[in-house]
Amino acid sequence: MKPIRFNVDPKEYKHLKVAVEGPIARITLTIPEDGGLRDGYKLKLNSYDLGVDIELADATRRLRFEHPEVSAVAIQSGQDGIFSAGANIFMLQTSGHPHKVNFCKFTNETRCSIEDSLQDSKQYYLAAANGLASGGGYELCLACEEIHLIDDRNSTVSLPELPYLGVLPGTGGLTRLVDKRKVRRDLADLFATVAEGVKGQRAVDWKLVDAVHTASTFHEKVTARLQEIAGDGNPYKGITLDVLKADYADGGAEYKYVNLKINHDSRVATIELTGPDAADGDIPATPSDLGCDWYGLRFWRELDDALLNLRNNYYEIGTVVIQSSGDINNVLKLDNALAEKKDDWFIREVLVEIKRVLKRIDYTSRSFFTLIEPGSCFAGSLFEIALASDRIYMMDHEEEENFVAISTLNDGFFPMGNGISRLNTRFYYEKDSAEKVIAAKDKLLTAAEAMALGIATDTPDDIDWEDEVRIQIEERASFSPDALTGMEASLRFPGPETMETKIFSRLTAWQNWIFTRPNAVGERGALTMYGNVRSPEFDWKRV
Amino acid sequence: MKPIRFNVDPKEYKHLKVAVEGPIARITLTIPEDGGLRDGYKLKLNSYDLGVDIELADATRRLRFEHPEVSAVAIQSGQDGIFSAGANIFMLQTSGHPHKVNFCKFTNETRCSIEDSLQDSKQYYLAAANGLASGGGYELCLACEEIHLIDDRNSTVSLPELPYLGVLPGTGGLTRLVDKRKVRRDLADLFATVAEGVKGQRAVDWKLVDAVHTASTFHEKVTARLQEIAGDGNPYKGITLDVLKADYADGGAEYKYVNLKINHDSRVATIELTGPDAADGDIPATPSDLGCDWYGLRFWRELDDALLNLRNNYYEIGTVVIQSSGDINNVLKLDNALAEKKDDWFIREVLVEIKRVLKRIDYTSRSFFTLIEPGSCFAGSLFEIALASDRIYMMDHEEEENFVAISTLNDGFFPMGNGISRLNTRFYYEKDSAEKVIAAKDKLLTAAEAMALGIATDTPDDIDWEDEVRIQIEERASFSPDALTGMEASLRFPGPETMETKIFSRLTAWQNWIFTRPNAVGERGALTMYGNVRSPEFDWKRV
């Protein structure tokens, strides 16, 4: 299969149009049937595959950076009578388990980033369902702050996955019904088993949508509501995001500051990070003048693309080694400058972009080992990548200097999905420990100091380093990939759970299970048999 | 296979001895190799199967009711050098997926009930690991308030499931490491991949155990600590619990107040509940004089046994219809009497027993529909069973009276695993709604009133009732059992998550997934290959 690329050019969007008029943006889905990522299925009825979501994720990011003046965003459909039929069923039927799961994960991340928009970017999303919103189509609505449905006697919202396909709504639908929209659990149960869905006033009464409007008033009412939400918009002027460039030639991906190298034999990838120059920490009076080529933004966009590239194109790479090179003081300088300008819209967008990329690591089902060696620059925001890793190895070198450093950005700027910082997650029940680490900020910490503070897993000396680290990496790569995925998903999120972590744990884990079951994907499973004249056959055992 | 029974006679325990001396009890595991629930595996090294856990669950319940004076409980081993090797691997290898999952679920529930003991019953559990505590053996230790490990250069604690078997520790181990014992996530990661485990001072440093003692001082130190915890014990005098009697003859199980009927053709079970007599609400000055034959205790023990019987012996029964008959006023009288005497030790034990049985419903992966018809007695504690159901149908009868009622016990006496009441879970984000329901307590509510209060899903009239309810039940029974399990697990727990719900959702769902994967259970999977000279073979794709 052709590799999947995430760095799309908005001029080449196939599936959606973005129109900005003053403080209001409209994202219109008009998905061509032949626009699938690969052959073998037709994207009928505005159904989607990963390719559509890649554009949607790109569009929401661009709205933040390029149109920060926008304060209200409508998601709507360009097809009459149909908002979206959700994930394409024939695509799911013909996709392997890893693709299905990674597809759902990315769509979930995009939905969460739409959901973040109000708090993070003062952009309020409204779903304007001018027709049937079914399955993932309705789940896209659920990610918005409010849902308007056309009342034309036909158009329903529905989650038909369970009755039709024997699977769950895979993009947070069940969790958002009860946890976000406060639909009563028994009504949610009823709704999720009624394939034809719910329409009109009942949809409002059950809290499935916020308002219904007749066909003749729909556009007008939605527009009025958008204007009400939008007000005068935000007083910001955007920048242009270029299309991220990468050299994918030799397997992996080489960017300006990030280099993803794939070793197929060992099933280990290396991500090499390059630190900033001193000048990158000089932030001008109008920070957005820095533009998209600035290290502070480009580095994280590159890392994000590298992670997505790894996730979706290299399933067999189970272990990721993270290394860095550069001047640790430059990172501290940049971090402190970011913290100082945190109230500027552009810097705020950069900070929440960093937050999202770091969460991408948390939710990536690969083992991450960060290696800290002389010449590295794991400080602050870059050290946060180490904190997101499963293990941190730091060389205790007898002669060469080898430091890490904490910056003020480690102190709550990048909450995980569970709502708290990685340091507080790490030491969740011992606030003292996290406070001690924060108290050491802006200092260069040796391996012994890092070990004492609990921010290194192990600190082999320079003589043993090569062997010890190699053995750990080889061993990791030898374990059952499934068991590692389950273990990491369990250990990475101690402490509180939020709707977001519920979606990525409870719901996703059940969905993964169901996606492996013969009742869904076996020869006579419901997903396999969809569209067939024969009925599915179930093994009736409850588990 | 022979049906599995949960109502064991303590005189016939095969696997453990319970010794009570003043305020201290000791549960000693001495598991005979040939004591398995079925043939085909030997319970070597104090490894266990469901039969062992059934005794352990029974023993902890009996300690509460029969020996409430006990304030410290040690779990220890009767075998030298070995505490427990955990769940028997050969049992797991030869068990089907539903048995594995239900086995893990029951052991999880037992661990959670051990964990509750301190708060609910003033009984403090201490694990005295006088030898290797491996896998589920160590997880049993993790459920205790503190862990003492012998320091004899051999004895380790370990979670070897991932490296040896390609599965996860299935009884809450990973979650308890990070969320309960506050083991740092990277150390937990390291620990769970080191098959040989960790011993001595390092086990203390990593917080895996609370203390280590040399072999010569182990017994003495543990005893001293038990005495310190126990103090003078609790000033209560226990009752005797009989062995629960049931007629299992005709499929299902008929008890005194509970009748479980199995219909194999429709794959639907009915649980008929009988309400109390008026006299059952007369609680004497010394409530424990009521003994174990009292409705207030027997009813719930019977319902618990019925649920376990259903879960473990009738996998194909996916839908459970709950009905009741009796005088609704008698239930209110009993509930009010329970609430009034809630500070008495015996009544407190009854209340927390009810809490546990209700949680058993929440965690049972079958669809529960409660049907409320004339002559039923769904009030208070019995209505809580309806609140635990996925749907509540109440007949709106034109002529006959049909009521439900709320009692003070619905107001927080029976928290779910998520820490809040079923009413607050039902209306989690709308406290007003829950308060309105509570304000209607002790009143007989019609179908229309119940509907208005949001405590009924639907209220068909008596003419449509038969058809409507039948169609809903038949439809439910026709859906994919896997998808229903995942949906119910997602909708039943809106709102907060706790360590307990994390164990039953995040961890369990991942474990279920892994238990279906060829990398664990395929022909060359790690669990299948355990004990074989050849190595497992993995599909390396990460999902």
Nearest chain B Cα distance for residue A435, angstroms: 15
pLDDT of A222 strictly over 80: yes
Query: Rounded mean pLDDT of A439-454?
Result: 98
Per residue, what are the HEC states of B245-288?
CCECCCCCEECCCEEEEEECCCCEEEEEEECCCHHHHCCCCCHH
Residues in B touching A494 (Cβ below 8 Å)? 178-179, 185
Tell me which residue of A168, A1, A145, A176 sits closest to A72, measured CA to CA: A145
Quick: pLDDT tens for A120-141. 999 999 999 999 999 999 999 9
Last residue of a domain, one of A201, A230, A259: A230
Task: State the pLDDT at residue A477.
Answer: 96
Query: Rounded mean pLDDT of B19-25?
Result: 98
Can you tell me which residue has the tokens 């059992």?
B481
- Burial grade of B317 (CB within 10 A; 0-12, 13-18, 19 or more): buried
Residue of chain A minimizing CA distance to B267 = A540
Per residue, what are the HEC states of A289-350?
HHCCCCHHHHHHHHHHHHHHHHHHHCCCCCEEEEEEECCHHHHHHHHHHHHHCCCCHHHHHH
Q: Are residues B126 and B156 in the same domain?
A: yes
CA–CA dist A79, B317 (Å, integer): 44
Question: For residues B460-473, b (16+ Cβ closer than 10 Å) or e, as one string?
Answer: bebeebeeebeebb
Query: Rounded mean pLDDT of A397-402?
Result: 94
Q: Residue B341: helix, strand or coil by DSSP? A: coil
Other CB atoms within 10 Å distance of the CB of residue B50: 22
Residue B434 within a domain: yes
Quick: pLDDT tens for A18-68. 999 999 999 999 999 999 999 999 999 999 999 999 999 999 999 999 999
Strand pairing report for A16-21 and A24-29: antiparallel
Q: Are residues A133 and A182 in the same domain?
A: yes
pLDDT of B109 strictly over 90: yes
Residue B67 within a domain: yes
pLDDT of A346 strictly over 90: yes
A438's enclosing H/E stretch is helix A431-439
Q: Are residues B398 and B329 in the same domain?
A: yes
Residues in B touching A426 (Cβ below 8 Å)? 184-185
**Which B positions 133-172 lie with beta carbon below 8 A of chain A?**
161-163, 165-168
* A81 and B CB contact within 8 Å: no
Task: State the pLDDT at residue B506.
Answer: 83
Q: Are residues A282 and A218 in the same domain?
A: no
Are A504 and B506 in contact by the 8 Å Cβ rule? The answer is no
Residue B383 within a domain: yes
- Residues whose CB falls within 8 Å of the CB of residue A462, separated by 6 or more in sequence, listed in order: A395, A396, A397, A398, A399, A400
Looking at chain A, the number of H-run helices and the number of E-run strands are: 21, 15
- Which range of A97-101, A165-169, A321-325 scores highest in mean pLDDT? It is A321-325
Are A152 and A146 in contact by the 8 Å Cβ rule? The answer is no
Tell me which residue of A441, A541, A515, A542 sits closest to A165, measured CA to CA: A515
Torsion angle of the four alpha carbons A300, A305, A306, A308, in this order, in degrees rounded to the nearest 10: 130
Name the domain count of chain B.
Answer: 2
CA–CA dist A277, A299 (Å, integer): 12
Are B307 and B265 in contact by the 8 Å Cβ rule? The answer is no
Tell me which residue of A481, A264, A487 sits closest to B536, measured CA to CA: A481
Tell me which residue of A352, A363, A418, A466 sits closest to A122, measured CA to CA: A352
CA–CA dist B160, B166 (Å, integer): 9
pLDDT of B1 strictly over 80: no
Choose among B189, B492, B512: nearest Cβ to A491. Answer: B189
Task: State the pLDDT at residue A236.
Answer: 98
Task: State the pLDDT at residue B431.
Answer: 83
Task: State the pLDDT at residue A275.
Answer: 98
Are B211 and B128 in contact by the 8 Å Cβ rule? The answer is no
Residues in A touching B317 (Cβ below 8 Å)? 542
CA–CA dist B70, B124 (Å, integer): 9
Choose among A365, A519, A540: nearest Cβ to B542. Answer: A365
Q: Are residues A95 and A129 in the same domain?
A: yes
Residue B226 within a domain: yes
* B177 and A CB contact within 8 Å: yes
Q: Are residues A463 and A431 in the same domain?
A: yes
* B194 and A CB contact within 8 Å: no
Task: State the pLDDT at residue B295.
Answer: 98
Tell me which residue of B154, B210, B162 sits closest to B189, measured CA to CA: B162
Residue A76 within a domain: yes
Interface size, chain A vs chain B, as Cβ–Cβ contacts under 8 Å? 280
Are A366 and A412 in contact by the 8 Å Cβ rule? The answer is no
Confidence of residue A238 (pLDDT cuts 50, 70, 90): very high
Choose among A161, A179, A506: nearest Cβ to B506. Answer: A506
Confidence of residue A431 (pLDDT cuts 50, 70, 90): confident
Q: Are residues A176 and A72 in the same domain?
A: yes
Quick: pLDDT tens for B326-382. 999 999 999 999 999 999 999 999 999 999 999 999 999 999 999 999 999 999 999
Mean pLDDT of chain B: 96
Query: Rounded mean pLDDT of B37-50?
Result: 96
Nearest chain B Cα distance for residue A356, angstroms: 21
Confidence of residue B507 (pLDDT cuts 50, 70, 90): confident
Last residue of a domain, one of A484, A503, A538: A484
Quick: pLDDT tens for A492-514. 999 899 999 999 888 888 888 99
Residues in A touching B492 (Cβ below 8 Å)? 185
CA–CA dist A260, A310 (Å, integer): 8
Task: State the pLDDT at residue A533.
Answer: 85
CA–CA dist B303, B361 (Å, integer): 10
Residues in B touching A161 (Cβ below 8 Å)? 483
Structure tokens at B308: 């376990």
- Residues whose CB falls within 8 Å of the CB of residue B485, separated by 6 or more in sequence, listed in order: A510, A542, A543, B365
Choose among A96, A166, A429: nearest Cβ to B482. Answer: A166
Nearest chain A Cα distance for residue B181, angstroms: 9
Residues in A touching B495 (Cβ below 8 Å)? 179
Can you tell me which residue has the tokens 């003070």?
B408
Lowest mean pLDDT among A225-229, B276-280, B342-346, B530-534: B530-534
pLDDT of B161 strictly over 80: yes
Task: State the pLDDT at residue A170.
Answer: 81
pLDDT of B225 strictly over 90: yes
- Residue ranges with strand state E in A164-284: 211-214, 253-254, 258-263, 268-274
B141's enclosing H/E stretch is helix B136-142
Structure tokens at A4: 């999947």
Q: Are residues B206 and B280 in the same domain?
A: no
Q: Are residues B164 and B258 in the same domain?
A: no
Q: B105: domain range? A: 10-230
Residue A498 within a domain: no
* B495 and A CB contact within 8 Å: yes
Task: State the pLDDT at residue A250.
Answer: 72
Task: State the pLDDT at residue B2.
Answer: 86
- Residue ranges with strand state E in A108-154: 124-129, 131-134, 146-151
Residue B538 within a domain: no
* B46 and A CB contact within 8 Å: no
CA–CA dist B191, B158 (Å, integer): 7
- Residues whose CB falls within 8 Å of the CB of residue B202, separated by 6 or more in sequence, listed in order: none
Choose among A174, A317, A539: nearest Cβ to B490. Answer: A174
CA–CA dist B48, B91 (Å, integer): 9
Residue of chain A minimizing CA distance to B543 = A98
- With an 8 Å Cβ cutoff, are A490 and B168 in contact? yes
Residues in B touching A190 (Cβ below 8 Å)? 391, 457-458
* A418 and B CB contact within 8 Å: no
CA–CA dist B359, B264 (Å, integer): 26
CA–CA dist B449, B435 (Å, integer): 15
Are A143 and A115 in contact by the 8 Å Cβ rule? The answer is yes
Strand pairing report for B124-129 and B72-77: parallel
Q: Are residues B52 and B188 in the same domain?
A: yes
Strand pairing report for A157-158 and A131-134: parallel
CATH at B355: 3.90.226.10
- Residues whose CB falls within 8 Å of the CB of residue B97, separated by 6 or more in sequence, listed in order: A541, A543, B515, B516, B521
- With an 8 Å Cβ cutoff, are A543 and B484 in contact? no
Lowest mean pLDDT among B74-78, B320-324, B509-513: B509-513
Q: Are residues B83 and B200 in the same domain?
A: yes
Residue A196 within a domain: yes
CA–CA dist A365, A390 (Å, integer): 11
A392's enclosing H/E stretch is strand A391-394
Residue A17, amino acid: K
Q: Are residues A399 and A261 in the same domain?
A: yes
Are A3 and A248 in contact by the 8 Å Cβ rule? The answer is yes
Strand pairing report for A258-263 and A253-254: antiparallel
Q: Tell me the Ramachandran region of residue B380: left when phi exceeds 0, alpha when psi lies from -120 to 50, beta otherwise.
A: left
Query: Rounded mean pLDDT of B254-268?
Result: 97
- Residues whose CB falls within 8 Å of the CB of residue B506, separated by 6 or more in sequence, listed in order: A489, A490, A493, A497, A505, A506, A509, B175
Confidence of residue A2 (pLDDT cuts 50, 70, 90): confident
Confidence of residue B249 (pLDDT cuts 50, 70, 90): confident
Tell me which residue of A69, A43, A53 sits closest to A13, measured CA to CA: A53
Can you tell me which residue has the tokens 């909450």?
A415
Task: State the pLDDT at residue B429.
Answer: 77
* Interaxial angle between packed helices A508-516 and A97-121, expressed in degrees from 0 to 180 and rounded to the nearest 10: 160
pLDDT of B250 strictly over 80: no
DSSP A226-243: HHHHHTT--S-------P
Tell me which residue of B180, B179, B160 sits closest to B170, measured CA to CA: B160
Residue of chain B minimizing CA distance to A161 = B483
Task: State the pLDDT at residue A244.
Answer: 97
Residues in B touching A517 (Cβ below 8 Å)? 482, 516
CA–CA dist A424, A397 (Å, integer): 29
Last residue of a domain, one of B438, B455, B484: B484
Question: For residues B38-48, b (16+ Cβ closer than 10 Å) or e, as one string?
Answer: eeebebebbbb
Residue with the bigger pLDDT between A427 and A505: it is A427
Residue of chain A minimizing CA distance to B499 = A495
**Which B positions 280-319 lie with beta carbon below 8 A of chain A?**
315-318
